[in-house]
Amino acid sequence: MTSSLTLPLPLADDDERLAVLRSYAIMDSDPSEALDALVKSACHLFDVPIGMVALLDDRRQWFKSVSGLSLTETPLDGSFCARTIRGGDLLVVEDAATDPRFADSRYVTGEPRIRFYAGAPLTVRPGIALGSFCVIDTRPRRITADERALLQHLATVAMALIESHKLSVDSIALAEKAEQRARELRLRERQFKQTEELAEVGGWEVDLATNLITSSDEVYRIWEVPVGTPMKVEDAFALFPDDERRRIEERFFRLIEHGERYDENFRIHSKSGRPKWVRAVGDVELVDGIPRRLFGILQDISKRHAAEAELWHAANHDALTGLANRAHFIKRITHLFERRAAEADAGAGLLMIDVDRMKEINDTLGHAAGDLLLCAVGERILKAAADDALVARIGGDEFVLMLREGVTAERLARMSADIIAAMVEPLSFGAETILPRVSIGGAVAVPGDTAETLRQKADLALYESKDRGRGGYAEFREAMRDGILKRVATLRSVDEALGADRLVPYYQPIVRLDTAEIVGLEALARMRMPDGRIVAAGAFQEALREPRIAHRLTTSMLGAVARDLRMWLDRGFPCDHVGINVTTADFTAGDLRSRIHDCFGALGVPLRHIVIEVTETVFLGGNESAVLRDVEELRRDGIVIALDDFGTGFASLTHLRSLPVNLIKIDKSFVQGMMEDRTSGSIVEALIDLARKLGLKIVAEGIETVVQAEQLREMRCRLGQGYFYARPADAATTYEMLRNFGQHRAKLHARREDRSLMAG
């Protein structure tokens, strides 16, 4: 059978594309560590076993970088990447086995048994692509819009690295050409025909008896002196700035006295004052061992020097902000510590600066707004910095400020305060207003520190600053190391538990205080340890500050609660609602609603059984518009929204009118403080009365004694939860509690809505 993927020959005959490919001199070149790292990162990001940068000539596709395959090239016949560059856009094949274009491909029916392919063309200019950046899986899968954008972005980065390769090749070619010219000069250094042979340079000679210079027209042009103007050596030397003049005078002296030929680059200022770079070559003619005249060439290398300076600037500066980049910063700080190692450098200081809410701004307003913010932040840091500071952008939303000497903790704190103050002025982006804010961590080097340890200290301080709530400054303290190590261990433990399905819901009943009847449940995360112990969420709360972990945990809880609810409903579930806690990370990801629908819809569990519990901090913690939008959509789906832990966050009583909630859960600190603190009791009673008037339901959390329960009943609070009624329990135990204390069949004769959580 002929492969359905066999391509017609025009790809191989695309002379223009092949000419461009050849100009890059990249086929069969040495491996690139940067491209290898990029491909491995892509495999990790997309969770695929295979990734590659494929370049296509007229007979094969060659892998400049490949991960997951031992091959370095394959024929064009059957190439997915050939079809990618022919299409000129992202090519996604979700299941090659069912795609008629690829089903018969040797790479689908045989090794590596491709099922999923996604490739983005490596585009030089419209219509010209060198190859593709692709990720491959042996399992069929889908790809999201964000993943498509990410793949395009990775292809852009790969193309930039390929362009860097071309610049390097071109630079080497230029250097080889320059060296060849120098060799030619050395071969002819005794001949006075240098000017004629090298038309782009001028020749000169100095009569040592008169000190007069005889020059070609080209030398006069470089000097910007009228051709034929009499010039002495001192007149030429006057065109050199002071530091360069001393150097050229020394070269002349050594040439005359010792016969030492020179070939060096110098800065000059032409007669009109124009700065230039020249290459000067000088030699001496000896007669009977005595110098008679000097001769040589002068070449204007200003353009080459400018091009080299531009290349250096591009390699050492951030293209967006114009600040130093990560590579330049690392070179500078490494050089600083190497140069001063013998002095046990204790004078350097470092500020690590992170732009807050960067991802949110990119996601909501677009990357143009994000770029505007980054440029503004970089400019403001630079203005607030000391004159001797190096300011660099070292990552997407990360900046660094380095001070070389004489730094104290007080100076770092003052400079951080200046930087934070510089962020106060808002930015305008179209009709939107952006409020810049940064978090800063600082460290001062002590004897024994290295560049790496100072960076680590500043990083730890930055983490501490963000952990405190962002928008502030933290100075490094040794105690931070222990906190970070503990957090890393907790993160690893939770990550492993999620991977092993050891994070499970335990359910705490919500009861009617007048009858002790269970009318609802709250699902609380518990971690089953490898030894079988059950650990409450407080033990791993630190890990939930990590957005990735928090997002995974919510997804796990949604799936587990959906399965338990399905089982209970099938058994005649005598309870209406189960509450599930969500975090800022769930709203930031933008997929909470779809995850809820996927988990509960797949099992046919009606959404009216779900209560989504959102704390004040999440509601009002900086991403308010996105949270409110998602919550409104969830309410329209029939999901109950609860304001959890009310009284511990940002919300005031006025927010109760505007927050889209059905239910308020009074924080346990107020309930447990009622007996000792009359103020707490008054607050609880006022909240119960206010909620009733606003048509909101109230649940009192943390009831632990009969006295607390009785006092709440007297305040006409109808719903509560706490250890007095039941501790959180696993699904099986919870079902037994529901059978004994839930909404019994005998009670179904009463109006069901009067015995539900929302009727409480």
Instruction: Kindly state whether residues 283 and 375 are assigned to the same domain.
Output: no
Cα–Cα dist 15/17, whole Å: 6
Cα–Cα dist 642/254, whole Å: 87
Instruction: Kindly state whether residues 535 and 419 are assigned to the same domain.
Output: no
CATH code of the domain covering residue 434: 3.30.70.270
Instruction: Kindly state whether residues 19 and 88 are assigned to the same domain.
Output: yes
Q: What is the pLDDT of residue 7?
A: 42
Q: What is the pLDDT of residue 620?
A: 72
Instruction: Kindly state whether residues 209 and 163 are assigned to the same domain.
Output: no
- If DSSP states are collapsed to H, E and C, what string results for 616-655? HHHHCCCCHHHHHHHHHHHHHCCCEEEEEEECCCCCCCCH
CATH code of the domain covering residue 594: 3.20.20.450
136 contacts 51 by C-beta, under 8 angstroms: yes
Across 241-250, 296-305, 470-479, 616-625, least confident range: 616-625
Beta strands at 518-528 and 577-581: parallel, antiparallel or unpaired: parallel
User: Both tokens of residue 402?
Assistant: 């380095």
Task: Find where tokens 């969420």 sit.
Answer: 537
690 contacts 717 by C-beta, under 8 angstroms: no
Instruction: Please compute the mean of the pLDDT values over residues 562-575 and round it to a whole number.
Output: 88
Domain assignment of residue 149, yes or no: yes
Instruction: Please compute the mean of the pLDDT values over residues 731-754 and round it to a whole number.
Output: 66
Instruction: Please compute the mean of the pLDDT values over residues 350-371 and round it to a whole number.
Output: 90
204 contacts 222 by C-beta, under 8 angstroms: no
Helices (H), 399-546: 409-422, 451-467, 479-499
CATH code of the domain covering residue 259: 3.30.450.20
Instruction: Kindly state whether residues 155 and 128 are assigned to the same domain.
Output: yes
Domain assignment of residue 334, yes or no: yes
Q: What is the pLDDT of residue 539?
A: 85
Q: What is the pLDDT of residue 347?
A: 77
The residues, ordered by sequence, that sit 6+ positions from 452 with a Cβ below 8 Å of its Cβ are: none
Across 8-17, 332-341, 721-730, least confident range: 8-17
Domain assignment of residue 263, yes or no: yes
Instruction: Kindly state whether residues 472 and 507 are assigned to the same domain.
Output: no
**How far from 127 is each of 20, 123, 130, CA to CA, in Å?**
12, 8, 10
Instruction: Please compute the mean of the pLDDT values over residues 229-237 and round it to a whole number.
Output: 92
Nearest Cα to Cα of residue 623 among 394, 360, 231, 328? 360
Cα–Cα dist 279/277, whole Å: 7
Confidence of residue 621 (pLDDT cuts 50, 70, 90): low
Beta strands at 427-429 and 390-393: parallel, antiparallel or unpaired: unpaired
Please identify, among 287, 306, 325, the residue that sits at the C-terminal boundary of a domain. Answer: 306
Phi and psi for 678 in degrees, rounded to 5?
A: -65, -30
Please identify, among 306, 325, 344, the residue that sits at the C-terminal boundary of a domain. Answer: 306
Instruction: Kindly state whether residues 380 and 276 are assigned to the same domain.
Output: no
Instruction: Please compute the mean of the pLDDT values over residues 89-104 and round it to a whole number.
Output: 92
Confidence of residue 188 (pLDDT cuts 50, 70, 90): low
Confidence of residue 192 (pLDDT cuts 50, 70, 90): very low
Domain assignment of residue 441, yes or no: yes
480 contacts 468 by C-beta, under 8 angstroms: no
Instruction: For residue range 323-340, list pLDDT tens digits in order.
Output: 999 999 999 998 888 876
Please identify, among 275, 306, 337, the residue that sits at the C-terminal boundary of a domain. Answer: 306
Instruction: For residue range 166-182, list pLDDT tens digits in order.
Output: 888 888 878 788 778 76
List residues bridging with 535 in a β-sheet. 527
Number of structural domains found in the chain = 4
Instruction: Please compute the mean of the pLDDT values over residues 688-701 and round it to a whole number.
Output: 90
Sign, Cα dihedral of 450, 454, 459, 464: positive
Q: How many CB atoms lie within 10 A of CB 452?
A: 12
Q: Is 22 exposed, middle or buried (0-12, 13-18, 19+ CB in 10 A)?
A: exposed
Radius of gyration of the chain (CA): 36
Cα–Cα dist 488/88, whole Å: 44
Cα–Cα dist 647/458, whole Å: 35
User: Both tokens of residue 202?
Assistant: 């001028």
Instruction: For residue range 196-216, list pLDDT tens digits in order.
Output: 445 458 889 999 999 999 988
Cα–Cα dist 445/408, whole Å: 9
Confidence check: pLDDT of 598 > 50:
yes
User: Both tokens of residue 49?
Assistant: 């076993």
Cα–Cα dist 608/594, whole Å: 16
321 contacts 393 by C-beta, under 8 angstroms: yes
Cα–Cα dist 535/503, whole Å: 9
Confidence of residue 757 (pLDDT cuts 50, 70, 90): low
Confidence of residue 185 (pLDDT cuts 50, 70, 90): low
List residues bridging with 646 in a β-sheet. 666
Mean pLDDT, the chain, rounded, equals: 87
Instruction: Kindly state whether residues 420 and 373 are assigned to the same domain.
Output: yes
Instruction: For residue range 421-453, list pLDDT tens digits in order.
Output: 999 999 999 988 899 999 999 999 988 888 899
Q: What is the pLDDT of residue 344?
A: 46
Across 158-162, 477-481, 527-531, least confident range: 477-481
Domain assignment of residue 189, yes or no: no
Task: Find where tokens 């309410």 sit.
Answer: 635
- Output 636 or 538, whichever has higher pLDDT: 636
Across 23-32, 331-340, 605-614, least confident range: 331-340
Domain assignment of residue 330, yes or no: yes
Cα–Cα dist 443/462, whole Å: 10
Nearest-10 crossing angle of helices 367-384, 358-365: 140
Domain assignment of residue 183, yes or no: no
Domain assignment of residue 179, yes or no: no
Instruction: Kindly state whether residues 627 and 656 are assigned to the same domain.
Output: yes
Q: What is the pLDDT of residue 622?
A: 59
Residue-range definition of the domain harbouring residue 60 = 9-169
393 contacts 381 by C-beta, under 8 angstroms: no
User: Both tokens of residue 688?
Assistant: 């119960």
Instruction: Kindly state whether residues 238 and 325 are assigned to the same domain.
Output: no
Instruction: Kindly state whether residues 574 and 706 are assigned to the same domain.
Output: yes
Q: What is the pLDDT of residue 708?
A: 92
Phi and psi for 443 in degrees, rounded to 5?
A: -150, 145
Q: What is the pLDDT of residue 483?
A: 74
Q: What is the pLDDT of residue 377?
A: 96
Cα–Cα dist 670/649, whole Å: 13
Exposed e or buried b per residue across 681-700, where buried means at least 16 C-beta atoms within 10 angstroms of its C-beta: bebbbebbeebeeeebbbbb
Instruction: Kindly state whether residues 551 and 684 are assigned to the same domain.
Output: yes
